[in-house]
């Protein structure tokens, strides 16, 4: 690519004649790594005009740079950075320009959370039992593309460019209200729905609005690590509640609970579905003790073993449940599209906070999804994914049993992963490392738990990204490394 003349400035720090200053400027660009061998320099005419100097000055500077082998000239086609130009120094040299004491300047730290780690190149591994990534063999890329194109058409220009701070794309909100939520047994009006950047953003907004330093958040242990991070950053009191085979036990909630975060349809990561009785008890307690419930209803579409039960929110008769939905799992996580459903006064605050944090959700993403949903492609995709996951799960189940491995979470509804036990004497980090060396990726249980000591006997084994044909061999290696 050609280097634009606009990237050149004659700054104070260059010295000597104009010609010499131009030479310094070009050499510095090469030495700093900004310009790379083979790239085309601006013509002497253009650069001279831009800098407000005579063309001859630039030509003389270029000729000097050629004799120093910074540049080469290819006759009439112009000047180029020489292939044998001096290479830039290692970049760490640039650090010397920083004299700020960042340990002091940073008022609040956010880094250092324990999160689920996945190698960036996970796709290069032959047996990736990783969770939550889109499978290109299942995704309906062709229809997604058509919907994206439709959303980019002249008629939809305003949906692309409009400011959606005050209201989200009405087409998307209407579809969610009239088709998606009713499948979960939920009735909601447009002012009770807010579009978010994925479920993560929905959980974050809810936590910011409902929690303060004096309030208590109860949540499941183990849980989605991103949620624990959100609650920790909210600086509220934390009440992790151990889950059992029926999900979150409402009787263990402390009296001072203000907000409960739960995954009733599909506990993350153990895959348990909360029983109807527990759901009713949870809502009764919420009424009695005046607390709120934030329900993360992720992956409900992936119920292929039993029919999806209605959401906890569908049983909510007094507006105590705030519902978090997401299209990331069934479409793809990079889409970053989720939603919050709750009473209008809550949604109003969530909208105002969202506006301050990021203004609004990109219009194109909203409109493309609205088309994909309303043209029926989404339902067809969900059916296809469900069938593929069902097939993979049966094979997984069979292979797991064949090798005598033990499943820790029941996942009676389906889903895309098993919650597994390592069994006695096996440390999960060690197991993970040994498996990785043999091309098998699993997810250790530790990041899901409250403390770094917990969860060393569990791991998650997902089948959303591994082809059917790879499953038997992958499980066989796993069994071998577990000594079965």
Cα–Cα distances (Å) from 276 to 187, 260, 283, in that order, read 19, 17, 11
Tokens matching residue 480: 């071998």
List the one residue from 365, 416, 422, 446 that touches a second copy (CB under 8 A): 365
* By the rule CB under 8 A, 29 interacts with a second copy: yes
**Residue 37 or 345: which CB sits closer to a second copy?**
345
Q: Among residues 79, 332, 339, 463, which is the contact residue for a second copy, using CB under 8 A?
A: 332
Q: Which two tokens stand for residue 138?
A: 């299942």
Strands across the sheet containing 321-326: 193-196, 338-341, 321-326, 292-296, 259-262, 216-221, 237-242
State the nearest-atom distance from the C-beta of 99 to a second copy, in Å.
Answer: 4
Pick the binder of a second copy from 40, 55, 364, 438 (CB under 8 A): 364
Q: Which residues 231-250 are close enough to bind a second copy by CB under 8 A? A: 233
Q: What's the closest the beta carbon of residue 330 comes to a second copy, in angstroms?
A: 12
For residue 359 the two structure tokens come to: 């203004």
Whether the Cβ atoms of residue 239 and residue 211 lie closer than 8 Å to each other: no
- Taking CB under 8 A as the criterion, the residue among 185, 249, 467, 472 binding a second copy is 185
Helices (H), 375-462: 377-402, 428-437
Q: Are 225 and 237 in contact (CB under 8 A)?
A: no
CB nearer to a second copy: give 74 or 95: 95
120 binds a second copy (CB under 8 A): yes
Q: Identify which of 54, 51, 66 has the alpha carbon closest to the alpha carbon of residue 8.
A: 51
| 155 contributes a contact to a second copy by CB under 8 A | no
Quick one: which of 19, 82, 201, 257 contacts a second copy (CB under 8 A)?
201
Choices 74-82, 350-358, 416-424, 473-481; region in contact with a second copy by CB under 8 A: 350-358
Rule CB under 8 A: which of 34-93 touch a second copy? 34, 50, 91
Piece of 229-237, 266-274, 417-425, 444-452 that binds a second copy (CB under 8 A) = 229-237
CB of 424 to a second copy, least distance (A): 34
444 alpha-carbon distance from chain centroid? 19
Query: In 26-143, which ranges are E strands?
Result: 71-73, 79-81, 127-128
Q: Is 160 in the site for a second copy (CB under 8 A)?
A: yes
Q: Over the Cα atoms of the chain, what is R_g?
A: 28
371 CB-contact burial (10 Å; exposed 0-12 / middle 13-18 / buried 19+): buried
Q: Give the Å distances, CA to CA, from 137 to 63, 81, 384, 392, 393.
A: 55, 43, 10, 14, 17
Asked if 149 is part of the footprint of a second copy (rule: CB under 8 A), the reply reads yes
Inter-residue contact 19 to 47 (CB < 8 Å): no
CB 30 within 8 A of CB 85: yes
As measured in angstroms, the least distance from the Cβ of 311 to a second copy is 10
466 near a second copy, judged by CB under 8 A: no
Q: Which of 171, 278, 360, 470 lies at the binding interface for a second copy (CB under 8 A)? A: 360
Q: Is 162 in the site for a second copy (CB under 8 A)?
A: yes
Per CB under 8 A, does 386 bind a second copy? no
Instruction: Figure out which of the listed residues 61, 85, 274, 292 binds a second copy, where binding follows CB under 8 A.
Output: 292
Ramachandran assignment for 164, one of left (phi > 0), alpha (psi -120 to 50 degrees), beta (any other): alpha
Stretch that binds a second copy, among 109-117, 263-271, 388-396, 427-435 (CB under 8 A): 109-117
> What are 342's two structure tokens?
């709750």
**Contact flag: residue 359 with a second copy (CB under 8 A):** yes
Per CB under 8 A, the segment of 56-64, 248-256, 361-369, 439-447 that binds a second copy is 361-369
Residue from 45, 189, 235, 402 binding a second copy (CB under 8 A):
189
Could you tell me the smallest distance in angstroms from the CB atom of residue 461 to a second copy?
19
- Tell me the closest approach of the beta carbon of residue 465 to a second copy, in angstroms: 10
d(CA 379, CA 423): 39
Of 84, 105, 255, 437, the one binding a second copy by CB under 8 A: 105
């Amino acid at each position: 690519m050609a280097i634009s003349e606009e990237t050149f400035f004659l700054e104070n720090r260059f010295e000597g004649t104009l010609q010499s200053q131009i030479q310094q400027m070009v050499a510095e660009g090469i030495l700093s790594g900004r310009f790379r061998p083979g790239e085309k320099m601006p013509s002497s005419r253009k650069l001279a005009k831009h800098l407000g100097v005579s063309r001859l000055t630039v030509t003389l500077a270029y000729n000097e740079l050629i004799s120093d082998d910074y540049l080469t000239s290819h006759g009439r086609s112009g000047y180029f950075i020489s292939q044998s130009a001096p290479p830039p120094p290692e970049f760490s040299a640039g650090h010397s320009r920083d004299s700020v004491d960042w340990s002091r300047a940073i008022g609040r730290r956010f880094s250092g959370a324990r999160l689920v780690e996945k190698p960036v190149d996970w796709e290069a591994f032959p047996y990736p039992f990783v969770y939550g990534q889109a499978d290109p063999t299942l995704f309906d890329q062709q229809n997604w593309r058509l919907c994206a194109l439709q959303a980019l058409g002249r008629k939809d220009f305003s949906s692309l460019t409009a400011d959606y701070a005050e209201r989200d794309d009405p087409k998307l909100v209407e579809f969610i209200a009239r088709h998606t939520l009713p499948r979960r047994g939920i009735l909601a009006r447009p002012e009770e729905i807010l579009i978010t950047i994925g479920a993560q953003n929905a959980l974050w907004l809810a936590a910011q609005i409902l929690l303060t330093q004096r309030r208590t958040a109860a949540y499941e242990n183990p849980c989605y690590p991103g949620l624990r991070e959100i609650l920790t950053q909210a600086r509220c009191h934390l009440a992790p509640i151990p889950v059992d085979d029926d999900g979150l036990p409402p009787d263990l909630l402390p009296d001072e609970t203000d907000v409960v975060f739960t995954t009733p349809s599909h506990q993350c990561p153990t895959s348990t579905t909360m029983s109807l009785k527990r759901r009713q008890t949870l809502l009764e307690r919420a009424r009695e003790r005046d607390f709120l419930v934030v329900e993360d209803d992720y992956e409900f579409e992936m119920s292929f073993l039993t029919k999806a039960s209605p959401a906890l929110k569908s049983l909510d008769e007094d507006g105590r449940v705030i519902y978090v939905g997401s299209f990331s799992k069934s479409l793809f996580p990079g889409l970053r599209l989720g939603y919050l459903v709750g009473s209008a006064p809550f949604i109003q605050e969530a909208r105002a906070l969202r506006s301050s944090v990021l203004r609004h959700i990109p219009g194109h993403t909203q409109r493309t999804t609205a088309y994909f949903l309303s043209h029926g492609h989404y339902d067809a995709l969900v059916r296809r994914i469900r069938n593929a996951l069902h097939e993979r799960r049966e094979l997984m189940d069979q292979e797991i049993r064949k090798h005598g491995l033990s499943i820790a979470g029941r996942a009676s509804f389906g889903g895309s992963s098993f919650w597994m036990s390592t069994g006695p004497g096996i440390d999960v980090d060690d197991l993970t490392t040994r498996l990785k060396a043999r091309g098998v990726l699993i997810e250790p249980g530790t990041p899901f738990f409250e403390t770094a000591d917990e969860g060393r006997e569990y791991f998650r084994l997902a089948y959303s990204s591994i082809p059917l044909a790879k499953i038997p061999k992958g499980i066989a290696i796993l069994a071998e490394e577990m000594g079965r």
